[in-house]
Amino acid sequence: MFLTACAATSESTAGDSPRLTFIHVNDTYRVGAVEDGKLGGFGRAVTMIREIQAEGREVRVLHGGDLLYPSLESQLWNGLQMVEALNYIDALAPVYFVAGNHEFDRRTPEHLVDALKQSQFDWLGDNYQLNTGDAAVDGLLRSNFTIAYKDKTIGIFSLTSHVDDGGNSRDYLNVDKDYLVVAEQAIENFESQGVDLIIGLTHLYMATDLQVAKLRQEHPTLAFVVGGHDHEPEFSEQTEDSAAVMKGASNARAIWRIDVEFDEAGAGQIDVHMLNLGEGVAIDADYDKINQKWRARLLELYPFLEAKVGEAAFPMDATEETTRSRETAWGNFIVDQMLRAFGEPAADFAFINSGTLRIDDYIADDITFEDIGRTFGFSSYLRYMTISGAEFRQVMEAGYRGAGGSQGYFPQIAGFRVCVDRSRDVGSRIVSMQIPVADGWQEVDAEKEYTLVVPDFLYRGGDGYQLPKDRPASRPGSELKYLVLDAIVRAQAEGRSIGTVVDPGKQRIEIHEDPVAQCFRGNALGG
Ligand SMILES: [Zn+2]
């Protein structure tokens, strides 16, 4: 019922061959489910694990990273709520975990140390080491990791992101960026031990996973690579030249089932299915006790969490995949509040990196305190500054670097509109940048001085934005979360709902993949 078939690479089954299944999940930030409990969550994954075990199969779980942060709960408990949830799964079916970039969100290591100490599941790390000051904890990271099942041995190597590829730079963390070199060393090491099957467990961009998967050309025991970091499912099938590559959807909305069989010659064969965890899959009642316990603790601290503060005009897509690749109604509403964060007159420009917006869910019907709390996984203090038109244009170029797709640095903007041509060289992709004037729109004047409101994180150079440091700038002041709350409460008092549909003809952000003859064609006032 909930199987969307993907790839069956082999039907062969030797009689007494191990009946082994891997379940893969990645990017899980919630103890419970998402979309008002209707989608995903460990509770549904547990139900699937029990069903597969009932088929007489041994289940092992792979987690592709991003667990401890960010979330409303991790601001209170630093991810220990997620450790408890994953410990529950580990007791049911052993869990192997690679750290994602978000495991290193804190600048100091003490909370990570607590998380490692409380983890009953294995933390794997082949291209990174910890230097937390607690040698026993650093030693918990397992490299060249193998598991035994019946007469077979399976090797699992693991890779996490370097700071250049969306990882975190921390004093207590050392990441080797030569992913392919590390992977091949681990594979050769496994081969010398005679392992029967090799798995890659990663938290990398898909493009890198596909390169890792190609190591199968030389190393046919590399069967599949499963990863995280992306929040929507990815799949690349197994061929002679490439291992299979799979990523699930965040918060276990979609997970992968990988059945492993060994043929007569002892070669591992895989049979792969994606499992969509929707309302058709029950939430395991025993697991749900953990969810209920943490929910009760949260409501004890914030009894008002479920209270309505306003209403959404329509279901606003605030999933990461959408927020990080295009202008969104929820993003526009939020950034609009920044323009007046420092009073009147309003600033000319405001923007945030979409990585600031963490809810990864829809905002629909009643807007609650919880929606706001989940949107802002971090505190975001704003700065007010002056900047020339030329400088601002250069700053914004950073938002349109790269090949596109879902990127945390992708900007949500207010006060201006921008037209981008991605076929141009990085650093000169902005074709037009305009501000509204009485009778339409006007190009941003390179020489003119403008005012800008940005999060302190970006002011300090976060996500690759280089703001000029020789300009008058305020101290970090107004907190974005409360500005947004205030605006919603005000709208509610005035009987207004929240959200304006992003009209494809009147976009703030217009992105072209090819050279563009005329920007903003769709806009009646367009220039
Ligand atoms: Zn990540």
Q: List pLDDT tens digits, range 257-307.
A: 999 999 999 999 999 999 999 999 999 999 999 999 999 999 999 999 999
Mean pLDDT, the chain, as a whole number?
A: 93
Which phi and psi angles does 153 have, rounded to 5°? -120, 135
Q: Give 474 or 524, the one with higher predicted confidence.
A: 474
- Separation of CA 67 and ligand 1 centre (Å): 9
Please give the full DSSP string across 111-145, using - where no structure is assigned.
HHHHHHHH--SEEE-SSEEE--S-HHHHTT-B-SE
Distance between CA 363 and CA 41 in Å, rounded? 18
Q: Which two tokens stand for residue 437?
A: 């004037």
Question: Is pLDDT of 2 > 60?
Answer: no
Question: Is pLDDT of 525 > 60?
Answer: no
Q: H or E element: which one contains 511?
A: strand 509-512
For range 189-199, the mean pLDDT: 98
**Dihedral over Cα of 506, 508, 510, 516: its sign:** positive
**Residue 12 pLDDT class (50, 70, 90 cuts):** very low
- Separation of CA 11 and ligand 1 centre (Å): 34
- Separation of CA 22 and ligand 1 centre (Å): 21
Could you tell me if 384 and 347 are in contact, meaning their C-beta atoms sit under 8 angstroms apart? yes
- Separation of CA 315 and ligand 1 centre (Å): 26
Distance between CA 159 and CA 208 in Å, rounded? 10
- Separation of CA 79 and ligand 1 centre (Å): 15
Query: For 149, what's the count of Cα atoms within 13 Å in the CB-facing half-sphere?
Result: 21
The answer to whether the bond into 515 is cis (omega within 30° of 0) is: no
Q: Which two tokens stand for residue 477?
A: 């002041």
DSSP state of 497: P
- Separation of CA 293 and ligand 1 centre (Å): 27
Question: Is pLDDT of 6 > 60?
Answer: no
What is residue 379's predicted lDDT score, i.e. its pLDDT? 85
- Separation of CA 205 and ligand 1 centre (Å): 9
What is residue 320's predicted lDDT score, i.e. its pLDDT? 87
Query: For 257, what's the count of Cα atoms within 13 Å in the CB-facing half-sphere?
Result: 26
- Separation of CA 96 and ligand 1 centre (Å): 17
For range 306-331, the mean pLDDT: 95
What is residue 366's predicted lDDT score, i.e. its pLDDT? 95
What is residue 523's predicted lDDT score, i.e. its pLDDT? 56
Out of 219-223, 501-505, 518-522, the most confident range is 219-223
- Separation of CA 66 and ligand 1 centre (Å): 6
Is residue 15 helix, strand or coil?
A: coil
pTM of the model: 0.84
The dihedral formed by the CA atoms of 437, 382, 229 and 359, expressed in degrees to the nearest 10: -80
- Separation of CA 15 and ligand 1 centre (Å): 40
- Separation of CA 238 and ligand 1 centre (Å): 24
- Separation of CA 145 and ligand 1 centre (Å): 22
- Separation of CA 97 and ligand 1 centre (Å): 13
Distance between CA 331 and CA 316 in Å, rounded? 10
- Separation of CA 394 and ligand 1 centre (Å): 27
What is residue 526's predicted lDDT score, i.e. its pLDDT? 40
What is residue 14's predicted lDDT score, i.e. its pLDDT? 44
Question: Is pLDDT of 340 > 90?
Answer: yes
Kindly provide the b/e burial profile for residues 108-128, where b requires at least 16 CB atoms within 10 angstroms of the residue's own CB: ebebbbbbbeebebbbbbbbb
- Separation of CA 65 and ligand 1 centre (Å): 7
- Separation of CA 408 and ligand 1 centre (Å): 10
Distance between CA 434 and CA 518 in Å, rounded? 13
What is residue 5's predicted lDDT score, i.e. its pLDDT? 42
- Separation of CA 183 and ligand 1 centre (Å): 19
Give Cβ neighbours of residue 223 (< 8 Å, ≥ 6 apart). 197, 198, 199, 216, 238, 243, 244, 260, 268, 270
Is residue 328 helix, strand or coil?
A: coil
Q: Which two tokens stand for residue 103?
A: 């495991």
Picking from 116, 117, 142, 120, the residue whose alpha carbon sits closest to that of residue 129 is 142
For range 230-238, the mean pLDDT: 94
Question: What proportion of the chain, given as a percentage, has pLDDT over 70?
Answer: 95
Question: Is pLDDT of 524 > 60?
Answer: no
- Separation of CA 420 and ligand 1 centre (Å): 26
- Separation of CA 169 and ligand 1 centre (Å): 13
Question: Is pLDDT of 323 > 60?
Answer: yes
Is residue 270 helix, strand or coil?
A: strand
- Separation of CA 100 and ligand 1 centre (Å): 5
Question: Is pLDDT of 441 > 90?
Answer: yes
Question: Is pLDDT of 479 > 60?
Answer: yes
For range 184-191, the mean pLDDT: 98
Predicted confidence (pLDDT) per residue in 95-116, tens digit: 999 999 999 999 999 999 999 9
- Separation of CA 42 and ligand 1 centre (Å): 18
- Separation of CA 227 and ligand 1 centre (Å): 10
- Separation of CA 204 and ligand 1 centre (Å): 8
What is residue 16's predicted lDDT score, i.e. its pLDDT? 53
- Separation of CA 444 and ligand 1 centre (Å): 35
- Separation of CA 463 and ligand 1 centre (Å): 14
Question: Is pLDDT of 123 > 90?
Answer: yes
- Separation of CA 313 and ligand 1 centre (Å): 31
- Separation of CA 167 and ligand 1 centre (Å): 7
Distance between CA 278 and CA 276 in Å, rounded? 6
For range 76-97, the mean pLDDT: 98
For range 419-436, the mean pLDDT: 97
- Separation of CA 455 and ligand 1 centre (Å): 21
